[in-house]
């Protein structure tokens, strides 16, 4: 235990980071407000996350979230002011939430308040900007077919989630995007903004009194109806294999995914670590087996997205088509008998890598604000970052073996993108 504590303290000293999720209050309209005052860097960041994401979209309006958010922010006076002072303002839609993020030099905090209010309540979207966002999105959709990696991931998500919210592409489909109107954008934004689904996180150098008007602005947002997300159909119920041909590739692309726990699971951190152990880089288990030993791969790895509902533990590899079945067998064997492939040193290396990456990211005020909002909206609590570091250090080899057997087994989805010759 002493060794574990010493490692954590050493890393904290090296990175000079204060791990505090900040102070959390519930505002009168149901929104959560988090403030984390940090005096070392004279910048201020505000992150707003609103629960919904792909759950506010369907087959008829797929892609409306990103087009609406980008058109709205890019049409605002606040964006021009923020860019003139060297700051940033952006918005995007993701699987479980929409995000609006602002970062500025702290000395301009009082100046942006009226423009911030105007952004939220006087929503005016420039038709030219809206049409340009549609045009860019349509071009992206059309070019995905020419980008094998993006196309393979898109098809994998569609096949593995089979109609669940996560099966849709965040940029939408050609049939939906081309028909969007400004009324669709305004309607989406009206549905999105509800205090009961909102987390607002501030971090940086500021006086607490400066946040009072921002809190009052947030409280003016209607409480709205609290979004209830149903995760019932997010799990994998059968094994499926799909093979598709692609004209632009000479080697196959294989994606194999298992059902994986949602972020609120007690296994969340363990599976995050397992992802790095198996496919996190050139020292990972799959890299050593499939590239170094067998010489199959030009790229190999694993990923495990953080989700409100069931996620997927995905292994991927690019290789010659004739080696696909053996690669699938390797992926499955590691899950069945992980103790043959994973050792204490693998766990230690992955811990150091994951912890160093997270701590390095968290040095900025933006990431401090982002992590607090992110973990809060996932139901883990705004101060989960502290627990993340502590719990990561406590993960043992036995824990990794257990979660590997639990999740890298059972039903899975395989999507293979192969050259037309096959």
Name the 3-class secondary structure at 363. Answer: coil
The pLDDT, as a whole number, for residue 16 is 44
The pLDDT, as a whole number, for residue 21 is 64
User: What secondary structure letter does DSSP report for 209?
Assistant: G
The pLDDT, as a whole number, for residue 363 is 83
Nearest 10 degrees: Cα torsion 287, 293, 296, 297 = 20
Residue 282's region, left for phi above 0, alpha for psi from -120 to 50, else beta, is: alpha
pLDDT at residue 14 greater than cutoff 60: no
Contacts of 232 (CB under 8 A, 6+ apart): none
Which residue has better confidence, 102 or 7?
102
Q: Which of 191-200, 324-333, 349-358 has the lowest mean pLDDT?
A: 349-358
Average pLDDT over residues 316-340: 94
Q: Which of 203-212, 235-244, 278-287 has the lowest mean pLDDT?
A: 278-287
Q: What is the pLDDT of residues 80-132, one digit of tens each?
A: 999 999 999 999 999 999 999 999 999 999 999 999 999 999 999 999 999 99
Name the 3-class secondary structure at 326. Answer: helix
At 51, the pLDDT band (50, 70, 90 cuts) reads very high
The two structure tokens encoding residue 142: 């059309």
The pLDDT, as a whole number, for residue 17 is 46
> For a pLDDT cut of 90, what percent of the chain falls above it?
82
Name the 3-class secondary structure at 383. Answer: coil
pLDDT at residue 405 greater than cutoff 50: yes
Residues in the chain, how many?
A: 422
From residue 412, give the alpha-carbon distance in Å to each of 163, 238, 417.
16, 7, 17
Identify the CA nearest to 406 among candidates 394, 417, 398, 414.
398
pLDDT at residue 135 greater than cutoff 70: yes
The pLDDT, as a whole number, for residue 293 is 86
The pLDDT, as a whole number, for residue 64 is 98
pLDDT at residue 299 greater than cutoff 90: no
pLDDT at residue 359 greater than cutoff 90: no
Average pLDDT over residues 231-238: 95
What is the overall mean pLDDT for the chain?
A: 92
Instruction: Please name every residue paired with 299 in a beta bridge, in sequence order, or none if there are none.
Output: 318
On whether the CB atoms of residues 78 and 112 are closer than 8 A, the answer is: yes
How many other C-beta atoms lie within 10 A of the C-beta of residue 143? Answer: 11
Domain architecture of the chain: domains with CATH? 21-219 (3.30.830.10), 232-419 (3.30.830.10)
The pLDDT, as a whole number, for residue 168 is 95
């Amino acid at each position: 235990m002493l060794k574990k504590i010493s490692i954590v303290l050493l890393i904290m000293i090296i990175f000079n980071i204060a791990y505090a999720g900040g102070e959390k209050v519930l505002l009168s309209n149901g929104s959560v407000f988090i403030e984390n005052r940090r005096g070392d860097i004279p910048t201020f960041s505000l992150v707003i996350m609103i629960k919904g994401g792909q759950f506010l979209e369907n087959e008829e309006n797929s892609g409306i979230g990103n087009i609406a958010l980008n058109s709205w922010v890019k049409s605002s006076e606040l964006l021009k002011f923020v860019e003139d002072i060297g700051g940033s303002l952006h918005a995007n839609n993701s699987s479980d939430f929409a995000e609006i993020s602002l970062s500025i030099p702290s000395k301009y905090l009082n100046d942006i308040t009226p423009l911030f209010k105007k952004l939220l309540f006087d929503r005016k979207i420039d038709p030219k900007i809206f049409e340009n966002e549609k045009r860019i999105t349509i071009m992206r959709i059309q070019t995905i077919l020419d980008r094998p990696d993006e196309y393979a991931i898109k098809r994998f998500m569609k096949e593995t989630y089979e109609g669940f919210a996560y099966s849709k592409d965040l940029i939408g489909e050609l049939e939906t995007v081309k028909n969007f109107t400004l009324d669709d954008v305004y309607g989406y934004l009206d549905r999105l903004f509800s205090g009961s689904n909102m987390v607002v996180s501030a971090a940086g150098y500021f006086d607490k009194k400066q946040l009072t008007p921002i809190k009052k602005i947030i409280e003016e947002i209607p409480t709205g109806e609290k979004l209830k997300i149903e995760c019932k159909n997010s799990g994998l119920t059968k094994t499926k294999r799909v093979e598709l041909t692609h004209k632009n590739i000479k080697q196959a692309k294989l994606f194999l995914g298992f059902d994986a726990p949602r972020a609120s699971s007690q296994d969340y951190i363990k599976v995050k670590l397992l992802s790095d152990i198996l496919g996190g880089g050139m020292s990972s288990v799959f890299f050593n087996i499939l590239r170094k030993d067998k010489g199959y791969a030009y790229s190999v790895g694993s990923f495990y997205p953080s989700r409100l509902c069931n996620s997927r533990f995905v292994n991927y590899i690019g290789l010659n088509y004739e080696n696909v079945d053996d690669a699938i067998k390797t992926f499955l064997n590691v899950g069945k008998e992980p103790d043959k492939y994973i050792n204490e040193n693998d766990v230690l290396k992955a811990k150091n890598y994951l912890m160093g990456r997270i701590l390095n990211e968290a040095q900025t005020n933006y990431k401090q604000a982002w992590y607090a909002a992110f973990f809060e909206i996932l139901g883990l609590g705004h101060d989960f970052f502290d627990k993340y570091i502590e719990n990561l250090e406590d993960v043992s080899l036995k824990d990794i073996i257990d979660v590997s057997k639990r999740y890298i087994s059972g039903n899975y989805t395989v999507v293979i993108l192969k050259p037309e010759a096959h």
